[in-house]
Amino acid sequence: MATAEQSAGLLNDPAVQELAKQKAYEGLEKGKELGGQAMDGLRSYIKKGPTGVSFLCFLGGVAMTVCGVFETIGGLLNPFSLVLNVYLCLFGIVTVLLEADAELFRSMKMEFAVKPIMGYQAKVNEQAQFLTTMLGRGGFYIFLGTLAISQCIFCLYFLVGIWMIVMGAMLVGFHFGYTAEDYEAGASRARAQMAAGMQQLSDRNQPAPAV
């Protein structure tokens, strides 16, 4: 009982409240900085058009594969979840191979990966031609994203799913005539809105000046 009363007393202590507000403010400032850096990195790839978005899709495929492996191991006792996790893992591998840049692997002295990648991509060109178009590929990634977000809410799968949906939507947009400049303008607006929102939170949590 005394411990509970002491805890309540600490929470009501103005010095403790001010310290908590200071830490919250510092966290928001750091989050704003990291968010700005992430948006800058995203814009740098969007500027490259379909090539840059392809690399972002590659990263999404890697993330989906990793999530699929861990979730498959962790869900061995749930048959339905196991099957879905295996599918997502395989689809992640498909995405990685589909978006992999053979020349990049060659430049990294990873010759062992070049031939399998080029062979897989050649088979896709022959047997799954819809994946060679931005519309088909974008639709495929949107489908993968919806599968991933159906697994959970605000977990790694959910975040990867949102990422793949956004990347798929961008590819579909390229198919219908949107340009890298259009997406860059949208990313700039999103960053400005995010910065404004973070600034409002920072202002609310900014500690009072020392007297």
pLDDT in tens, 119-133: 888 888 888 888 888
Q: Which residues of the chain have pLDDT under 50?
A: 1-2, 35, 211
Q: What pLDDT sits at residue 181?
A: 79
Of all helices (H) and strands (E), which one includes residue 189? helix 180-205
Q: What pLDDT sits at residue 199?
A: 64
Q: What pLDDT sits at residue 116?
A: 85
- Can you tell me whether residue 38 is helix, strand or coil? helix
- Can you tell me whether residue 153 is helix, strand or coil? coil
**Nearest one of 13, 179, 171 to 95, comparing CA atoms:** 171
Positive or negative, the Cα torsion across 150, 155, 156, 161?
Answer: positive
